[in-house]
Each structure stands twice: as structure tokens, then as C-alpha cells.
């Protein structure tokens, strides 16, 4: 540190820097306490190792750090101690998934800067003359406040935690909250992990698949939802069509679902899930599409499946035991028919085109 000086620039960010350069050695905006002001950011600076986060007061009259904190990870996480109470994210190019719909917000614009050096989240007002701030309260609620000059007081513009569906993980994995009674429901083709607890409205055990996954898969689309927790997902951030996202997920047997990374303007990028899905809820506005993987045998019962898959010839040989005579159960104008089982145990039938078929070729063309 050479000839350190302090200054209070226009944004009222108290800084310490060397007298002969403009690089900050320390700035108060890195330590926002319970309040996020215009010009502040939340997140990690990987170069300096500084993490900026909000911390509630201990009590209404005591500004010592309380139990509630708000982090950017790169989701926005509201924690009570080390327990996550609420989550918003991932970032979708406009806002955090599950956050209030800022596309129709006349007051605020949000942004996320992400690179190898940092991940930083900001909230700015469209009207630069507007005096506003975001706080995390001693009850763990996040609020956006606007200064009312006529009343000389802060008024609440928006709360981000408002109903039971915002609570993190109270419904367990592979379930979603839709705000109706009962609040929690299993995803389609999933069943309660503990049916008895489920009947008592204890949903924390979550849901399990009716049929275990294998590499034969289909996808069911859920629309207008808050995306599942994506902190352990993989991202392909480039301009590709949605069908390429599906194809890439199909090529990876560990992929449990996918969605768009960026829905601003021209949609781009893919986000891939590889674990159980958690913290999903329906939204009235601002929701997104999530494509959830099902075992292929479940797809025969699903009404919103996008397309039927192709089976490789090697898979068909395995299913029918090389078209074994013991598996032949009939023959029609198309050719012989064989029974078999898919990897998940689902019974299936295979028609094999006969060289002497008088109708098979034309029938195949029509299909």
C-alpha cells in the first residue's frame, strides 16, 4: 500500500486507494450489510477473493449481523444460518428464474455479469433519480423499498418471498408446488417416496420415478414454472436450436432434463440437469419451459411427448434375442412379429419387414 487515500465518489461508495493510481484497495460497497444500493453488486470477485452478500440485522435496533443472509451462488440464496430458506435462479438472460417478472417492471432492471474472474448480480432503477434500496429483514424477507419524499418514509415496492411455494426443499425432490391445496404434487409419472407421510401432507420425502431411467428416454415439457435448482448443472452457452439441446441430453444417459440458458431476445444455449430435480413451482407470469426426462416406456402414456425415438438395430436384436423363433408370436402382411422386453422391463413388439411382403414397403412409406 503506497500513500493510501480515502474518497467518497458520486455514488457515495467510500473507497481506499493508492494516491498515484485509480485501483481500489478497499471499498465499502463490497460490504453492504443488510442493504443493496444503486451501484452495488452481490457475488464473488474471484481475483480478490471478496464475496459481497447481504446480512440481516440481529434485531430491529441492533445492526450486528443476524441469522439471515442473501448470497449469489450464482442463484440468489436466502439462508438462515447454513440452511437455504429460499432460492431464485438460475439466471435466464432477463432475471433470476422465480423472481418477480422484471420484463413488465417499470421500475427495475436486473443484470448478472459472469466470467472467469467474477459473478456479480445488480439491481438498477430505470429512473436514476429514484431513491431505492433492497434489504433482507430480520425475518428473512427480501424487500425492495422506494423513498417517498412526500411522506418522508420508505415504502415497500415489492417482496420476493410471499407464499408457501417459495420455501426451499419443503417438498423434496421430483415434486412441484402449484399454490393449490394440497400445495405439493409429484411430477408426472412420479409417485410419493413415502405415501403415508404424503397423505399427512408431509412432503419432504419427495417423489420417485415409477420406472427407473435407462438410455432409452423421452421428454415431457413443463411450462410456466420456476426452474429447478441448477447449481450442479452443465451449460452449453452458444446459439443452438432447442432440438440440439434435446439431442445432446439424449446422448448423455445421466441427463435428467434440459432447458434454455437465455430467453432474452433470440433464445440461446442449453442447461442440462444431471441429478434429481428440486425446488420447482408453477408461476402465473415469467415462467419457463423445462423438459424432464422419462423412461421410454412411460412415454406411451404421456400426452405431451415431442417425438418418438429411433432404436438402433443392435438394440432391436438384443430385445428380440436376435429374432429368436421362441419370441415370434405372429405374422401378417408386413412380416413376422416378435415379442421382447426393453431395458426397463417394458413389454414391446417388433415387426420385421419380410422380403416377400406384398404390402410392407408401401405401409412403411405411409408411416
Residue-wise pLDDT for 285-330, tens only, equals 788 999 999 887 776 554 443 444 556 677 788 888 899 989 888 7
pLDDT at 349: 83
Distance CA 207, CA 187 (A): 8
Distance CA 236, CA 153 (A): 46
pLDDT over 70 percentage in the chain: 85
Give the chain's radius of gyration (CA, Å). 27
Q: For residue 215, say if its preceding peptide bond is cis, omega within 30 degrees of 0.
A: no
In sequence order, what are the residues at sequence separation of 6 or more whose Cβ sits closer than 8 angstroms to the Cβ of residue 284? 224
pLDDT at 367: 43
Q: Ramachandran region of residue 81, left (φ > 0), alpha (ψ -120 to 50) or beta?
A: left
CA 276: distance to chain centroid?
12
Distance CA 40, CA 29 (A): 6
- Sorting pLDDT into bands at 50, 70 and 90, what band is 271? very high
- Sorting pLDDT into bands at 50, 70 and 90, what band is 278? very high
Mean per-residue pLDDT, 129-156: 91
Mean per-residue pLDDT, 81-98: 90
Domains detected in the chain: 24-162 (2.90.10), 173-300 (no CATH), 317-366 (3.30.200.20)
Q: Which three cell numbers stand for residue 68?
A: 439471515
pTM, to two decimals: 0.73
Mean per-residue pLDDT, 109-117: 88
Distance CA 49, CA 103 (A): 33
Residue 192 contacts residue 201 (beta carbons within 8 Å): no
Helix (H, G, I), strand (E, B) or coil at 296: helix
Highest-scoring range by mean pLDDT, 51-55, 279-283, 362-366: 51-55
Cross-sheet strand order for the sheet of 142-148: 35-37, 132-136, 142-148, 153-159
CA nearest 161: which of 88, 105, 224? 88
pLDDT over 90 percentage in the chain: 37
Distance CA 16, CA 5 (A): 6
Neighbours of 166 (CB within 10 A): 20
Distance CA 318, CA 360 (A): 23
Give DSSP secondary structure letters for 233-256: -EEE-S---HHHHHHHHHH-TT--
pLDDT at 344 over 70: no
pLDDT at 201: 87
Give DSSP secondary structure letters for 95-129: SBTTS--GGG-SSEEEEEEE-SSEEEEEEEESSTT
CA nearest 270: which of 227, 294, 241? 241
Distance CA 333, CA 1 (A): 89
Mean per-residue pLDDT, 147-157: 92
pLDDT at 81: 94
3-state helix, strand, coil in the chain (%, to 5): 15, 40, 45
Residue 134 contacts residue 36 (beta carbons within 8 Å): yes
Report the chain's mean pLDDT, rounded to a whole number: 83
Highest-scoring range by mean pLDDT, 176-180, 206-210, 357-361: 206-210
CA nearest 171: which of 195, 207, 140, 221? 207
pLDDT at 21: 72
Distance CA 97, CA 117 (A): 23
Amino acid at each position: 500500500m503506497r500513500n493510501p487515500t480515502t474518497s467518497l465518489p458520486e455514488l457515495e461508495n467510500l473507497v481506499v486507494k493508492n494516491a498515484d493510481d485509480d485501483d481500489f484497495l478497499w471499498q465499502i460497497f463490497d460490504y453492504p450489510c443488510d442493504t443493496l444500493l444503486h451501484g452495488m453488486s452481490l457475488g464473488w470477485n474471484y481475483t480478490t477473493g471478496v464475496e459481497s452478500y447481504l446480512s440481516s440485522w440481529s434485531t430491529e435496533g441492533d445492526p450486528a449481523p443476524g441469522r439471515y443472509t442473501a448470497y449469489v451462488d450464482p442463484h440468489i440464496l436466502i439462508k438462515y444460518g447454513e440452511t437455504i430458506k429460499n432460492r431464485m435462479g438460475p439466471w435466464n438472460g432477463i432475471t433470476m428464474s422465480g423472481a418477480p417478472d422484471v420484463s413488465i417492471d417499470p421500475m427495475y432492471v436486473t443484470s448478472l455479469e459472469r466470467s472467469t474472474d467474477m459473478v456479480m448480480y445488480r439491481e438498477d432503477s430505470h429512473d436514476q433519480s429514484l431513491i431505492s434500496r433492497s434489504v433482507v429483514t430480520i425475518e428473512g424477507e427480501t424487500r425492495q423499498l422506494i423513498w417517498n419524499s412526500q411522506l418522508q418514509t420508505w415504502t415497500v415496492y415489492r417482496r420476493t418471498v410471499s407464499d408457501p411455494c417459495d420455501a426451499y426443499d419443503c417438498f423434496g425432490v421430483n415434486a412441484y408446488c402449484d399454490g393449490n391445496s394440497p400445495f405439493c404434487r409429484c411430477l408426472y409419472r412420479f409417485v410419493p417416496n413415502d405415501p403415508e407421510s404424503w397423505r399427512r401432507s408431509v412432503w419432504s420425502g419427495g417423489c420417485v420415478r415409477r420406472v427407473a431411467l435407462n438410455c432409452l428416454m423421452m421428454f415431457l415439457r413443463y411450462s410456466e414454472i420456476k426452474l429447478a435448482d441448477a447449481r450442479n448443472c452443465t451449460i452449453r452457452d452458444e446459439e443452438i436450436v432447442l432440438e440440439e439441446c434435446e439431442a445432446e441430453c439424449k446422448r448423455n444417459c445421466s441427463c435428467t432434463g434440459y432447458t434454455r440458458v437465455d430467453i432474452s431476445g433470440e433464445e440461446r444455449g442449453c442447461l442440462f440437469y444431471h441429478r434429481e430435480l428440486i425446488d420447482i413451482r408453477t408461476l402465473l407470469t415469467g415462467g419457463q419451459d423445462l423438459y424432464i426426462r422419462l423412461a421410454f416406456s412411460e412415454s406411451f402414456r404421456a400426452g405431451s411427448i415431442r417425438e418418438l425415438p429411433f432404436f438402433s438395430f443392435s438394440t432391436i436384436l438384443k430385445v428380440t434375442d436376435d429374432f429368436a423363433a421362441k419370441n415370434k408370436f405372429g405374422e401378417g402382411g408386413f412380416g413376422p412379429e416378435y415379442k421382447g422386453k426393453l431395458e426397463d422391463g417394458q413389454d414391446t413388439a417388433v415387426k420385421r419387414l419380410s422380403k416377400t411382403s406384398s404390402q410392407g414397403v408401401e405401409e412403411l412409406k405411409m408411416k
